[in-house]
Amino acid sequence: MISARHALLRQAQDYFHKLLVDVVPWDDVKVDKAIPIPAIRGKRDQGPVRDLVVARFKGFKMELASPFDDQKWPLGRVTVTRGPWSITGPMDAATWERVGDFIRDRIIEGEQDGDTSGGENWGR
């Protein structure tokens, strides 16, 4: 059985290969270590997020959250941040298209202004 963490990473990797192959290679993505959530005795549901994956690349921070218990994010959530800019949405094909455009636009802006609005460690 595949874990939620690995499923989230596979989905992100698939969209990177489809949408960002010429902009950000998947090999440049650094995935943060998983943070274990301590079990609470007698409490099976420990919050709205089942698993959270944080990845960083080219000054971006990407958070992938597995499906929430509420109805707002039944597919899970993806959030990409770079400095003061961010984009968030459900983990569906339309959101991944918007995320791809967002990443490309931020990288192009950084290249055009001498990389002052973006860089490897900008916004950290």
Average pLDDT of the chain?
79
Is 94 inside a domain boundary?
Answer: yes
Is 61 inside a domain boundary?
Answer: yes
Of residues 111 and 81, the one with the higher pLDDT is 81
Is 122 inside a domain boundary?
Answer: no
pLDDT on residue 113: 47
Is 29 inside a domain boundary?
Answer: yes
Give the residue numbers spanning the domain of 68: 4-33+49-112
Tokens representing 119 are 């860089």
Query: Percent of the chain scored above 90 by pLDDT?
Result: 34
Q: Among 82, 78, 80, 32, which residue's Cα sits nearest to residue 59?
A: 82
Is 40 inside a domain boundary?
Answer: no
The residues with which 60 forms a beta bridge, in sequence order, are: 57
**Poorest-pLDDT segment among 23-32, 42-51, 90-99, 100-109:** 42-51
Number of domains, the chain: 1
Angle at the Cα of 41 from the Cα atoms of 36 and 45, rounded to 5 degrees: 65
pLDDT in tens, 64-82: 988 765 567 778 889 999 9
Is 117 inside a domain boundary?
Answer: no
